[in-house]
């Protein structure tokens, strides 16, 4: 917390001795210096639940969601915040390995098929939920340009119930495009920039591996052994029809006559494939 305004305070000395940082807060003694722009800590609750917290000073003039939380969570984030007030709204961030989009609406389902839906401008809460991982964060910062020059915090926990609840409640209508798998994907970048190309490759959906038959693999230009086997099968089938027209077996006379004119066509074709 940056430069907190403490209006009233009181604590037993034993608690202050156990937690020296609280004593510093009571004395209005704050961490200062350019080297302390960002603070990341792991926290364990009394019930052994693990959290991680992020606190930034005003001198850390970056969006805490895109610049810090996505890297710690290692996933795309959907953020709900109060996008009103002074300054411009921060756009969806699609240029990093992990993206940050906004919840345009928040919807909570109620019993008997009822629900409550409201715009994010009507809600002063600030939270973020991972797109795939079961991570939920509660924060004190809005995604507004004015917030870049303001201190703030976020605390995150990995919890499947919270993750599913808030992910289902967030309705995203705008921001980064969605790929065929329903995941957030970054827009295409200029191929002239190697860094942009790497970012685009990292955000593209992975192709599914599918099993195909030998014939399908050959027609799609698959590996050389599959193509060779396919062509050999076709050759055997085709040449069998040529040498056995209308299903009739060739006579000894026709076989001898064919052998005198040229080498067996089957042998020529198979030798060509083997070369």
pLDDT tens profile 201-213: 454 444 333 333 3
Does 72 have pLDDT greater than 70? yes
Concatenated DSSP letters for 17-58? Answer: HH-HHHHHHHTT----SGGGSEEEEEEE-TTS-EEEEEEE-T
The alpha-carbon radius of gyration of the chain (Å, integer) is: 33
- pLDDT value for 200: 46
Does 236 have pLDDT greater than 90? no
Mean pLDDT for 216-234 is 45
Q: How confident is the model at residue 180 (pLDDT cuts 50, 70, 90)?
A: very low
Mean pLDDT for 264-269 is 54
More confident residue, 159 or 253: 159
Short-list 127, 132, 134, CA closest to 158: 134
Does 138 have pLDDT greater than 50? yes
H helix or E strand, kind and range, residue 245: none
More confident residue, 190 or 201: 201
Does 168 have pLDDT greater than 50? yes
Mean pLDDT for 6-32 is 84
Q: How far is CA 99 from its chain centroid?
A: 7
| Contact partners, residue 189, CB within 8 Å, separation at least 6 | 95, 196, 197, 199, 200
């Amino acid at each position: 917390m940056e430069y907190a305004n403490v209006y009233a305070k009181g604590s037993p000395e034993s608690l202050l001795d156990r937690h020296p940082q609280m004593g510093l807060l009571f004395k209005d003694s704050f961490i200062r210096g350019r080297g302390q722009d960002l603070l990341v800590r792991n926290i364990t609750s009394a019930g052994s639940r693990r959290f991680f917290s992020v606190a930034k000073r005003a001198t850390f003039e970056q969006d805490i969601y895109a610049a810090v939380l996505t890297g710690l969570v290692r996933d795309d984030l959907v953020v709900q915040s109060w996008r009103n007030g002074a300054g411009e709204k921060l756009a969806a961030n699609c240029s990093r390995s992990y993206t940050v989009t906004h919840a345009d609406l928040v919807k909570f389902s109620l019993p008997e098929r009822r629900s409550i839906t409201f715009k994010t401008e009507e809600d002063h809460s600030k939270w973020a939920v991972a797109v795939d991982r079961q991570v939920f964060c509660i924060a004190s910062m809005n995604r507004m340009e004015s917030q870049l020059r303001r201190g703030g915090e976020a605390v995150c926990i990995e919890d499947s119930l919270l993750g599913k609840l808030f992910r289902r409640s967030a309705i995203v209508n705008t921001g980064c495009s969605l790929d065929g798998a329903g995941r957030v994907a970054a827009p295409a970048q200029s191929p002239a920039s190697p860094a942009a190309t790497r970012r685009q490759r990292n955000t593209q959906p992975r192709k599914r591996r599918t099993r195909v038959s030998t014939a399908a693999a050959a027609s799609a230009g698959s590996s050389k052994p599959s193509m060779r086997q396919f062509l050999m099968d076709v050759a055997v089938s085709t040449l069998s029809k040529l040498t056995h027209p209308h299903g009739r077996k060739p006579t000894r006379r026709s076989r001898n006559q064919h052998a005198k004119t040229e080498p067996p066509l089957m042998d020529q074709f198979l030798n060509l494939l083997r070369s």
